[in-house]
A and B are shown apart, each in its own frame.
Chain A
């Protein structure tokens, strides 16, 4: 079945019609459902945000409260904290759907899994990556990040966090069938997060020193495009393996 097929499929039984919807419709429907679910179970998306705030506040207490030192480590600290809280939220991406059986229903439905997965990941990003990005300037102020760095901070997180959600989705899909996925997801995903972290912090450093930021952001954007095109395929394959196994 082609991903863009919109015509009716052959009937399974008389009186029982299955229709393949357009990609946009599937994406929107999944997005609506997942956002609605997330708002009903608020701890799933609020807890990673609180974690983000708490981890960042450990550094002034643990390393040194001196503004000069903090401002030099601020880009890295904010990025690492964002990365860790994304990881923490990753487990909830498919877990509840797997447990109540709706994941199986999604897999057997005639809709192309690529767009369903993309919708789920997108909604996950809207509930974690986007709030993290919006909260980041607050953390920047806490860590004495100079004002010139704020633009780089927000932009790099805005382009980088969707990639984190996409790549993390692969880890979540591979471990959804396991009872204890927690640490394993981190082991699988952290190596793949490193490039995003490198270019994310490099963008902030560049904006702090007045160098052009566009190159780093373009590389982050390239990673996002790569993730958008290929990660849903890997997630879909991993989900099929995990659920059938």
Chain B
């Protein structure tokens, strides 16, 4: 395995590396989200059926992607922590859960707002919506379990097991629109096919998706750095860092 992977396992190195990466990701996130929002909301052509109400796609699709990607990140980080006993991986998994839960709420809320004008109701109990709701419940379960166990390492290991068990849900969300007849439309982006939308519509969406990934990276790094400082507060390097900051 490459050297940086081992270095990432040390909280101190991880703190330094993320400190260097943070500004770049922050700038990219702000730029991409700004360009994507303005392009999508103001300049992209209106849909021939849905008119302007389709524009919420520029929030709905990225947040829904993120909710699932973050769960995957959390489960993989949890597995790494469980197998190689990497403290940083545990911290990554712990930092992921609240971000993912927030984005799952956003995806459900924007979906409801979009559903009202197009389907005529805020909510339908179809496969895609239900599996997304289960994803939110899984996030809440992970957060509840993590806060219920006092010992940090036991909490991390237990939540990792729970996150891995909940992984069953991810393919169900992904394929729910193919397996069942649902009101929800099929996937917007596929690796093997061209999107059904014209480029003026999907390019801003792609920019938004990449922007949201950068945004997640920024929030994750911020939370992770806080967590590192909190857990390593008794080590000498954190004390030195704090003394430096005080000047």
State whether A174 touches B138 (Cβ < 8 A): no
State whether B162 touches A191 (Cβ < 8 A): no
Considering the complex, which residues of chain B in the window 126-140 have a beta carbon less than 8 Å from any beta carbon of chain A? 130, 134, 137-138, 140
The interface stretch among A15-23, A135-143, A233-241 is A233-241
Please give, as numbers and ranges, the residues of chain A lying within 8 Å of B145 by CB-CB distance. Answer: 174-175, 184, 187-188
Cβ of A1 within 8 Å of any chain B Cβ, yes or no, is: no
Most interface-central of B82, B151, B154, B164 (chain A CB within 10 A): B154
State whether A177 touches B162 (Cβ < 8 A): no
Cβ of A63 within 8 Å of any chain B Cβ, yes or no, is: no
Tell me what chain A mostly uses at the interface: helix, strand, loop, or mixed: helix
State whether A174 touches B161 (Cβ < 8 A): yes
Which A residues lie at the B interface, using CB under 8 A? 170, 174-175, 177-178, 184, 187-188, 190-192, 194-195, 198, 226, 234, 237-238, 241-242, 244-245
Which B residues lie at the A interface, using CB under 8 A? 82, 130, 134, 137-138, 140-141, 144-145, 148-149, 151, 153-154, 157-158, 161-162, 164-166, 168-169, 172
Tell me what chain B mostly uses at the interface: helix, strand, loop, or mixed: helix
State whether B154 touches A241 (Cβ < 8 A): yes
State whether A188 touches B154 (Cβ < 8 A): no
Determine the distance from Cα of A5 to Cα of B125 in the docked complex, in whole angstroms: 49
State whether B157 touches A187 (Cβ < 8 A): no
Please give, as numbers and ranges, the residues of chain A lying within 8 Å of B149 by CB-CB distance. Answer: 177-178, 245
Determine the distance from Cα of A245 to Cα of B168 in the docked complex, in whole angstroms: 26
* Closest-CB distance, A90 to chain B (whole angstroms): 14
State whether A190 touches B137 (Cβ < 8 A): yes
Determine the distance from Cα of A138 to Cα of B153 in the docked complex, in whole angstroms: 48
Determine the distance from Cα of A175 to Cα of B158 in the docked complex, in whole angstroms: 9
User: Closest chain B residue to A230 by CB distance?
Assistant: B165
State whether B157 touches A245 (Cβ < 8 A): yes
State whether B148 touches A245 (Cβ < 8 A): no
State whether A188 touches B144 (Cβ < 8 A): yes
Q: Given A190-B137, A192-B166, is A237 in contact with B161 using a C-beta cutoff of 8 Å? A: yes
State whether A238 touches B134 (Cβ < 8 A): no
* Closest-CB distance, B108 to chain A (whole angstroms): 14
Most interface-central of A190, A195, A244, A245 (chain B CB within 10 A): A245
Please give, as numbers and ranges, the residues of chain B lying within 8 Å of A234 by CB-CB distance. Answer: 161, 164-165
* Closest-CB distance, B93 to chain A (whole angstroms): 14
